C-alpha cells in the first residue's frame, strides 16, 4: 500500500492533471513540477492556462503542439498545457490524440476537475446547475478514462487518481448534487479497479478539507480556518507519487 512517509523519489514521471487553473489542481501542478515531474494539464480557462504556463516558466513563444477550435495548447520540452473542457467527450478525445502524438502518455492521471452547486435543497437546485456538477465531476472523469486508459493499457502500466471527497463517503445537506457525484466517483473507481489489467491501478482519493473556492462556497468565511492548497500539495504529491498497483480499488484520504 501507499507509503505516506516516503518523499516521492524515483525517476521523473509524466502526470496528467485536470482542472489545473485553480485550487488543488493548480497547487499540485506547481508542486510536482517543482519536484521535476512532467505535467500534462488542462482547464477550461485559456487565460488561466496562460498564467500557469508563465508560472511554470514555459517559453511564451513556444510553438503549440496542436490547436483546434475546441482546444488551444502550449508546450515546451517538458510540460504540455491545453485549454479544454472535460465535459466534452470530443475535446477529451482530441486531447488524448495530442498527448499520444507528443509521446507524453501519462504515468499518473489525477482527475481533479470539479465543481459544486450553491448551497440549496435539492428541489431548489436548477436543472442546469445539477447537470454542471454531474457533467464535470462524473462524466468528465469518465471521458478521461475512456480516452486515456487505452494508452496506459497499451503500455501495461499507470496509476489513476480520481479526486473524491469526504462528502463522497458521508452525506451533507444542501450539497446533494455534489455528494451524488462524489459517491458515484467512489463506485466508479471500485468498479473500474475490477476491469484493469495487471500493472494498472485506480483509486478514489479524498483531499481532506482544504480552503478552496469550492469550500468557501459552502463554508463561507470559516473556510479560511482550514489548510491552504499550497500547504496541502506537498503531502498530496508524495502520496500520489507513491501509489502502486497494490492500491488498486482503494479509497484513500490525504
Known catalytic membership, residue 226 = no
Q: Round to whole Å and give the CA distance between 9 and 238.
A: 9
Alpha-carbon torsion, ordered 84, 90, 94, 95, to 10 deg: 40
**Are 52 and 29 contacting, i.e. CB atoms less than 8 angstroms apart?**
yes
Q: Tally the C-alpha atoms within 13 A of residue 43's C-alpha that lie toward its C-beta.
A: 23
Handedness of CA 175, 178, 184, 185 (dihedral sign): negative
Return the exposure string of 68-86: e unless at least 16 CB atoms fall within 10 Å of the residue's CB, then b: eeebbbbbeebbbbbbbbb
3-class DSSP assignment, residue 224: helix
Residue owning grid cell 506547481: 30
Question: What does the H/E/C string look like for 84-130?
Answer: CCCCCHHHHHHHHHHHHHCCCCCCEEEECCCCCCCCCCHHHCCHHHH
3-class DSSP assignment, residue 185: helix
Handedness of CA 217, 46, 231, 157 (dihedral sign): positive
> 178, 193, 241, 247: which one is catalytic?
178
Q: Round to whole Å and give the CA distance between 160 and 116.
A: 22
Active-site amino acid positions? 178
Amino acid at each position: 500500500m501507499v507509503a505516506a512517509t516516503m518523499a516521492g523519489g524515483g525517476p521523473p514521471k509524466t502526470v496528467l492533471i485536470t482542472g489545473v487553473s485553480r485550487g488543488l489542481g493548480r497547487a499540485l501542478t506547481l508542486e510536482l513540477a517543482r519536484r521535476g515531474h512532467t505535467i500534462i494539464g488542462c482547464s477550461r480557462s485559456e487565460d488561466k492556462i496562460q498564467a500557469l504556463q508563465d508560472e511554470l516558466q514555459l517559453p511564451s513563444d513556444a510553438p503549440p503542439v496542436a490547436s483546434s477550435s475546441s482546444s488551444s495548447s502550449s508546450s515546451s520540452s517538458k510540460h504540455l498545457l491545453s485549454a479544454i473542457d472535460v465535459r466534452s467527450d470530443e475535446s477529451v478525445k482530441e486531447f488524448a490524440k495530442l498527448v499520444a502524438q507528443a509521446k507524453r502518455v501519462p504515468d499518473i492521471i489525477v482527475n481533479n476537475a470539479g465543481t459544486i452547486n450553491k448551497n440549496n435543497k435539492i428541489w431548489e437546485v436548477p436543472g442546469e446547475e445539477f447537470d454542471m456538477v454531474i457533467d464535470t465531476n462524473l462524466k468528465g472523469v469518465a471521458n478521461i478514462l475512456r480516452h486515456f486508459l487505452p494508452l496506459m493499457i497499451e503500455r501495461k502500466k499507470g496509476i489513476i487518481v480520481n479526486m473524491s471527497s469526504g462528502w463522497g463517503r458521508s452525506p451533507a445537506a444542501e450539497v446533494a448534487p455534489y455528494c451524488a457525484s462524489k459517491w458515484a466517483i467512489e463506485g466508479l473507481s471500485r468498479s473500474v479497479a475490477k476491469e484493469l489489467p495487471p500493472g494498472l491501478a485506480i483509486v478514489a482519493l479524498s483531499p481532506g478539507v482544504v480552503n478552496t473556492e469550492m469550500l468557501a462556497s459552502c463554508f463561507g468565511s470559516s473556510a479560511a480556518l482550514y489548510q491552504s492548497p499550497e500547504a496541502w500539495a506537498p503531502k498530496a504529491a508524495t502520496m500520489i507519487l507513491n501509489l502502486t498497483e497494490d492500491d488498486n480499488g482503494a479509497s484513500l484520504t490525504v
